Each structure stands twice: as C-alpha cells, then as structure tokens.
Structure 1
C-alpha cells in the first residue's frame, strides 16, 4: 500500500508579516521542522513539500532529505490549491497524508500512528486524522477514493467540509498543547519562551 505524505507550505503567511516558512526556530527554518518530521515517518513511502509563495526562497533554504519539492502555481487561491497540488503529486497512492508547514511540533510518531490506523481502517473510512486533546487536527490521511473530491475544493479552505460528509476515524496523537500552528510572530515566540 503506497502512502504519500504532503507538507503544505505554499501560503504567503500574510498574518505573519514576513516569509513565515523561513522564520528561524531552534536554528532551522520553521518549515524544516515539518519536513523533517515527514521524512522521519517510517510509514510514508514518499514525501512531497508543496511550495508556492516565496517558492524559490523556501526551496533554496530547506534541506528536503528524501522529500520531493513541488510548486503550486495557483497558491494565491489559498489552501484548496495546495491540497489539489498535493493530491496531484500523490499519483496513485492509496493514501495522502497531509501535514502543515507551520506546525513545527508535528512528530513522525503522530504521522506513523495515523498511517497505521489508515492501513487497518475499514473500507467505509474515507479519512483518518489526528486528535490533540479534544481537538481534531493534522496529520490527516485521505483515502485515494476521496482525492477526486479534493479536486473540487476551492478558496482558502481545507478539507474540513469534505470530511464532514464522510466517515472519519480519529487517532489520539497527544495533548492539545503539543499541536501548535504558527500564524503570527507571537505564536513563534511562544514556542521559544
């Protein structure tokens, strides 16, 4: 069973006020943390990193390891464009496992746990997603049969509405405070204090 991981890192980070993907955290660019977690996940057969805004800068600053970096031409549209790009890059993979480039505390263990649940999920389960405390979040594994519907997504919205129409299995990945996304410089400072 082929499983493709995708790190979505194409956004402009307007709320951040700078190139968010490259903001320094612990001696590495912010996005590098997510790339490293995906590359370390043993359950992923392939990893893609989707870039868009500041794509050349991000591509030049990260160490992709075993990941393949792909450019999302329509990144200005928002998250839906990144998801469509990731789905296209996944090819014939049985599952696409989505993580975000602004979640530096994502772990390979969380990704592997979601993939393990996806591999053993009943056929009616369209997606498997991580749960952090009481909050659903990433990683999100989408079954191949659901990827055609990803192609219909538009705008700056992820797959939340799509998942609401399908059977989704949730996997406990850790406490809520372990799942932090960075939207502002204050969020980043909160990780370093």
Structure 2
C-alpha cells in the first residue's frame, strides 16, 4: 500500500509584518479569492488523504472564508508563541495522526499548485514514507515539506518560533528534494509582497 499523506495548512500566524493598519495577509485576494481559501482549495485538490487547517489570529474571519470546504479546522489557542505550537496542534489532529507523512503547507504561499503538492506526495511515496521531502527552487530550500510519521514525537516537543527546518536539520533522515520553481520561495509577508505576487491586500 502507498504511504498516506495528510496536509496541515498553517494559517494561525499574527502577520506582524503587514504594518500598523493590520490588514490580514491571508485575506488578501488573488484572482478574487482570499489567499487562505486559495491555499485550502489547492490542498483539497491534491492527492492528500485529508486537510487540516490550523487557525489562530483572526480565526473567525478565516473560518468564514473556509466554511463551505471539506476540511478539518482546528484552533491554536497559543498561536502567539510561534509556529511550533501550530505544528504541534496540526500533527495532533486526528487526520494527521493516521497518516504516514504530514505535508506542512504555509497558507501564505500563493504560487504553490496542486500539481506541486502531488509531486511532493509522489516523491514521499516513492521513498516508502521514510524520507523527508522538501520543495526547492533552483536548489534553494523552500516549502512545502513532508515529514514522515517517525518524526511525530520530535514535532510534539517543538517550542517557540521553530518550524520544520529545524527538524530537517536534526533528524538524521534522508531528504528528497523536489524542484517546484519559484513557488517554493514566494511567501507574502508584507503588503508589497502581496502586490508583487499579483494579489490585492485586504481591507484591515
């Protein structure tokens, strides 16, 4: 049987680099669709078994734009402490626990497509579910990444603003790199980055 992959979509962050006006980057519109919804649709259209979205900052607004989609939304009450707490919540979610690998996807990466996700999933399955899979752009490390189930305990021990990169460095597991082009590097943390990537910042 092929290893099963579940997606954890991280959408809980504070978006602190969006400036004083405080518009939420995940509600910025790309092709008329809020970014977080676009990312969730991309995840849902992939070969992943299940999608869990971790929400925190302004979660009511985020839940509203996801309300009609088939996915599991879980709240991270500790989102202000950094990314690690969202990873822990995502991995602990039921769908993620039954999976052989968890694809960690950041909700602020508008260039990532379902076919990019499928290439990562296929690479993970070809590696028998025992390797870390990482998206790269011309060899430069990027996101998303897939972490095998063997790292679950290590994930659950993470603290602070630490993400998958730390685990990759310390795990000792083989890493399969999958070239997905610029999409692996483009995240939109500022209003300027949203505009440059073809989006329209949300009203605050």
On whether the aligned pair clears a TM of 0.5, the verdict is yes
Distance 1:168 1:103 in 2: 25
Partner residue, 2:4: 2
Q: CA RMSD in A?
A: 1.8
Which of 176-185 and 2-11 deviates more?
Answer: 176-185
Structure 2: runs of 5+ lacking an equivalent: 200-204
Provide Cα deviations, 1:115-173, integer angstroms capped at 9, x if missing partner: 11111215752x11111212111221111110110111111121212111222423333
* 1:81 is the counterpart of 2:85: yes
Partner residue, 2:122: 116
Which of 98-107 and 173-182 deviates more?
Answer: 173-182
| Residues 105-184 of structure 1: pairs in structure 2 closer than 5 A | 105-121=111-127, 125=131, 127-165=132-170, 166-176=172-182, 179-184=185-190
Distance 2:143 2:182 in 1: 12
Distance 1:124 1:95 in 2: 9
Confirm or deny: 8 A CA contact 1:128 1:140 kept in the other structure: yes
Partner of 2:97: helix, strand, or coil?
coil
Confirm or deny: 8 A CA contact 2:137 2:179 kept in the other structure: yes
Q: How many residues align?
A: 191
Confirm or deny: 8 A CA contact 2:4 2:49 kept in the other structure: yes
Inter-CA distance 143–12: structure 2 relative to 1 (3 Å threshold): same
Partner of 1:84: helix, strand, or coil?
helix
Partner of 2:98: helix, strand, or coil?
coil
Inter-CA distance 177–104: structure 2 relative to 1 (3 Å threshold): closer
Distance 2:100 2:174 in 1: 16
Confirm or deny: 8 A CA contact 2:100 2:129 kept in the other structure: no
Structure 1: runs of 5+ lacking an equivalent: none
Instruction: With the length of structure 2 as denominator, give the TM-score of the two structures.
Output: 0.87
Instruction: With the length of structure 1 as denominator, give the TM-score of the two structures.
Output: 0.91
Distance 1:123 1:104 in 2: 27
Partner residue, 2:202: none
Inter-CA distance 123–48: structure 2 relative to 1 (3 Å threshold): closer
